[in-house]
């Protein structure tokens, strides 16, 4: 905390002493680019942290500038201007949030279409600003905007701008260190995994976009009094493109990266554009080079590990077990004539089974029998073409991220983790899920939460105690265990495990089996395991389901299944007769 304050105060001191060294005109120019930097920080948060690229950030910069310019012209220095000026931040923030919410809702990727939508929006905004004469002043824009609170745009306004930039940087870095920041980074790493841990990633991304809109609006708000003029160009794609170029060149993964990018590239461009004809061509080449070879930009060269400060873990906060779990233990799951079909391919064909009590169930069957597919239908990855799935007698019809709140946890066949997050973050995300209230995601104390289950798992698997290690440094077996542990920390009632021991050493396998068994017994858990290893099945399973061609072939205990003629026929390469 002390470091955090000292660093930001230090930055502010540097920015505030600069005018003495560089003179009035350069200060004025620097002020303009620091405004762009405020918006670029927002681009870096979206692009570098959450992993989606806004290509039309100028829309919100322009919106802020128009609102601020219009208010200053209408009310000048009277008190009414202040609430109106705050709108220059609030309106862009809300519109960005709304756009993000609409676009991201119900989608599990942030692909290029979002970028294209924002690019198209910048074209639309430019058109609107040009044609809506009565409000925007049309092509010529709003001119003659008075100074802001009597601050001279060639002098004192600079200090306010520098203060705002430092505020934006401090605010952003505080947000990124909060649990919300952890979730944002998790989205960029592995969004589907986060959905299954119970988070509505669309909402989280919309928040990030809204925040970036607020920053762009803040930049625009000061732009109007600083330049005294707001034109439609401000909403257009050129500024939007430049914000992306500056952010990429400076480094999108850090927060100071975009600032240095804006100041270096932007200021140099404004100085050299007219002197040196090839300058802008060089900048474009530099940009392409950075995209290809330096994903972390220029700042990535200097401090490769900037995001990885090893903060001391403060005393941990014990949180109670989830009340819902111990109360009624396990849940009943009914597949009733479930079919799933894509095109003409039948994936599941009237699959029916019923699990009524807690315990360990194994699902076996030849390849293509529909084992993983039945998990996929349950968790909404595959369409349910016919039949019903009931949980505790209620038909299942929920958004994917709500499954976790019902107590359903899933481990994927191939370990699905967040490579660039630390182990501590991995363990915290499922711990918070459905436990923390919305506002608590801003509370840094959440990082210190620890539950009973987590403590006992840490003893079982000591490698998890190296909490600052990145998950990408783990072996395949350790990744399997990490993902399993994550699903267990969520304290589910129904646990879906897809070959949890694939790729584990015999030692690790034994360990994992013991853990599963222990936790199942302690918490009255229902576990369904897909497994090929019959040794393991014999050891674990209380009840077996044999699937064949998308249908249930047989069920019973191990002995019954082993003596079942149909099962023998299928496994020996025949078909059921």
Partner 1 sequence: MESLLVFNSLNILYEVFSLLLVALGLGIIFGLLRVMNMAHGEFISLGAFTAVSCQMAGLSYWVAFPATLVVCGSIGFLLERFLIRQLYNRPFDTLVATWGLSILLRKLLELGFGKGYQSLELPLSGSVSIWGTGYPAYRLLLMGFIVILVGGLTLWYNRSSAAMRVKAMIGNPELAESVGLNTQRLACLTFICGVCCAGLAGTLLAPLYSVYPAMGLDYLLRSFFILVIGGVGNLWGLFTGAAIIGGLQSGLAVLVNQTAGYFAVLIVAIIFLWRNPDGIFHRA
Binding site for partner 1 (CB under 8 A): 53, 55, 102-103, 111-113, 115-117, 119-121, 123-124, 127, 131, 237, 241, 244-245, 248, 277-278, 280-281, 284-285, 287-288, 291-292, 295, 343
Nearest distance from C-beta of residue 13 to partner 1, angstroms = 35
Nearest distance from C-beta of residue 284 to partner 1, angstroms = 4
Nearest distance from C-beta of residue 37 to partner 1, angstroms = 20
Of 244 and 347, which has the nearer Cβ to partner 1?
244
Of 217, 202, 173, nearest to 64 by C-alpha is: 217
Nearest distance from C-beta of residue 109 to partner 1, angstroms = 10
Q: How far apart are CA 33 and CA 88, in angstroms?
A: 19
Helices (H), 266-402: 267-272, 279-293, 297-302, 323-328, 371-378
> Hey, which residues does 340 pair with through a beta bridge?
348
Of 1 and 292, which has the nearer Cβ to partner 1?
292
Q: How far apart are CA 465 and CA 462, in angstroms?
A: 6
Of 248 and 364, which has the nearer Cβ to partner 1?
248
β-strands 543-548, 551-556 pairing: antiparallel
DSSP string computed for 136-172 = H-GGG-EE-PPPBTTB-TTTTHHHHHHHHHHHHHHHH
Of 242 and 499, which has the nearer Cβ to partner 1?
242
Sign of CA dihedral 71, 75, 77, 82: negative
Q: How far apart are CA 7 and CA 230, in angstroms?
A: 34
Residue 329, token pair as written in the block: 């233990």
**SS in 3 state form for 520-549?**
HHHHCCEEEEECCCHHHHHHHCCEEEEEEC
Nearest distance from C-beta of residue 516 to partner 1, angstroms = 37
Of 102 and 473, which has the nearer Cβ to partner 1?
102
Of 76 and 289, which has the nearer Cβ to partner 1?
289
**Sheet with strand 359-364: strands edge to edge:** 408-411, 494-498, 526-530, 359-364, 543-548, 551-556
Q: Is 319 exposed, middle or buried (0-12, 13-18, 19+ CB in 10 A)?
A: middle
Q: How far apart are CA 531 and CA 498, in angstroms?
A: 7
Residue 314, token pair as written in the block: 């403060």
Nearest distance from C-beta of residue 100 to partner 1, angstroms = 11
How long is the chain?
577
> Hey, which residues does 336 pair with through a beta bridge?
388
Nearest distance from C-beta of residue 139 to partner 1, angstroms = 12
Nearest distance from C-beta of residue 326 to partner 1, angstroms = 44
In contact, 37 and 259? CB cutoff 8 Å: yes
Of 127 and 505, which has the nearer Cβ to partner 1?
127
Per the listing, tokens 């681009």 go with: 43
Nearest distance from C-beta of residue 118 to partner 1, angstroms = 10
Of 56 and 141, which has the nearer Cβ to partner 1?
56
Nearest distance from C-beta of residue 39 to partner 1, angstroms = 18
Q: How far apart are CA 114 and CA 128, in angstroms?
A: 21
Of 418 and 432, which has the nearer Cβ to partner 1?
418
Per the listing, tokens 């940087």 go with: 169
Of 14 and 120, which has the nearer Cβ to partner 1?
120
Nearest distance from C-beta of residue 285 to partner 1, angstroms = 6
Nearest distance from C-beta of residue 55 to partner 1, angstroms = 8
Of 45 and 333, which has the nearer Cβ to partner 1?
45
Nearest distance from C-beta of residue 213 to partner 1, angstroms = 17
Of 131 and 140, which has the nearer Cβ to partner 1?
131
Q: How far apart are CA 468 and CA 297, in angstroms?
A: 24
> Hey, which residues does 494 pair with through a beta bridge?
408, 526
Residue 232, token pair as written in the block: 């439609």
Of 15 and 40, which has the nearer Cβ to partner 1?
40
Q: How far apart are CA 68 and CA 62, in angstroms?
A: 10
- The residues near 56 (Cβ < 8 Å, ≥ 6 apart) are 117, 118, 119, 120, 121, 122, 125, 237, 240
Nearest distance from C-beta of residue 110 to partner 1, angstroms = 9
Sign of CA dihedral 169, 170, 175, 177: positive
β-strands 345-355, 526-530 pairing: unpaired
Of 265 and 495, which has the nearer Cβ to partner 1?
265
Cβ neighbours around 369 below 10 Å, total: 23
């Amino acid at each position: 905390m002390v470091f955090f304050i000292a660093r930001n105060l230090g930055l502010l001191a540097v920015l505030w002493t600069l005018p003495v060294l560089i003179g009035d005109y350069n200060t004025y120019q620097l002020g303009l680019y620091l405004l762009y930097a405020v918006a670029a920080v927002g681009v870096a948060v979206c692009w570098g942290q959450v992993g989606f690229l806004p290509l039309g950030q100028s829309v919100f910069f322009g919106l802020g500038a128009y609102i601020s310019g219009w208010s200053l012209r209408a009310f000048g220095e009277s008190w009414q201007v202040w609430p109106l000026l705050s709108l220059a931040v609030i309106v862009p923030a809300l519109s960005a949030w709304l756009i993000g919410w609409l676009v991201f809702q119900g989608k599990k990727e942030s692909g290029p279409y979002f970028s294209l939508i924002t690019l198209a929006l910048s074209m639309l905004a430019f058109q609107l600003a040009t044609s809506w004469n009565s409000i925007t002043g049309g092509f010529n824009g709003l001119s003659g905007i008075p100074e802001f609170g009597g601050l001279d745009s060639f002098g004192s306004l600079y200090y306010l701008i520098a203060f705002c930039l430092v505020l934006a940087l401090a605010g952003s870095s505080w947000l990124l260190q909060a649990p919300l920041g952890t979730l944002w980074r998790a989205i960029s790493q592995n969004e589907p995994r986060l959905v299954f841990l119970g988070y509505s990633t669309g909402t989280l991304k919309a928040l990030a976009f809204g925040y970036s809109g607020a920053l762009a609006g803040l930049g625009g708000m000061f732009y109007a009094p600083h330049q005294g003029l707001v034109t439609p160009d401000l909403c257009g794609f050129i500024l939007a493109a430049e914000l992306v170029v500056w952010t990429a060149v400076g480094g999108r993964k850090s927060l100071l990266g975009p600032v240095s990018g804006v100041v270096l590239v932007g200021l140099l461009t404004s100085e050299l554009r007219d002197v040196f004809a090839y300058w802008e061509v060089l900048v474009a080449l530099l940009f392409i080079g950075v995209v290809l070879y330096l994903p972390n930009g220029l700042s990535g060269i200097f401090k490769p590990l900037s995001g990885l400060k090893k903060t001391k873990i403060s005393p941990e906060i014990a949180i109670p077990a989830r009340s819902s779990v111990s109360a009624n233990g396990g849940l009943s799951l009914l597949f009733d004539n479930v079919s799933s079909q894509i095109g003409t391919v039948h994936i599941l064909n009237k699959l029916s089974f019923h699990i009524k009590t807690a315990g360990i169930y194994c699902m076996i069957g030849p390849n293509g029998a529909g084992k993983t597919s039945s998990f996929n239908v349950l968790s909404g990855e595959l369409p349910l073409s016919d039949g019903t799935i009931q949980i505790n007698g209620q038909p299942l019809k929920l958004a994917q991220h709500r499954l976790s709140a019902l107590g359903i946890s899933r481990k994927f066949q191939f370990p699905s983790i967040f490579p660039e997050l630390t182990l501590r973050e991995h363990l915290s995300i499922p711990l918070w899920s459905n436990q923390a209230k919305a506002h608590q995601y801003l509370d840094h104390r959440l990082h210190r939460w620890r539950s009973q289950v987590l403590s006992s798992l840490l003893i079982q698997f000591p490698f998890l105690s190296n909490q600052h290690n990145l998950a990408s440094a783990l072996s395949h077996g350790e990744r399997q265990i990490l993902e399993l542990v994550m699903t267990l920390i969520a304290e589910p009632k129904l646990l879906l495990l897809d070959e949890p021991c694939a790729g584990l050493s015999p030692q690790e396998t034994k360990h994992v089996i013991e853990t599963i068994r222990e936790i199942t017994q302690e918490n009255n858990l229902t576990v369904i395991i897909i497994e090929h290893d019959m040794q393991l099945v014999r050891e674990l399973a209380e009840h077996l389901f044999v699937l064949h061609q998308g249908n249930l072939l047989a069920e019973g205990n191990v002995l019954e299944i082993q003596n079942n003629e149909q099962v023998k026929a299928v496994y020996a390469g025949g078909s059921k007769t």
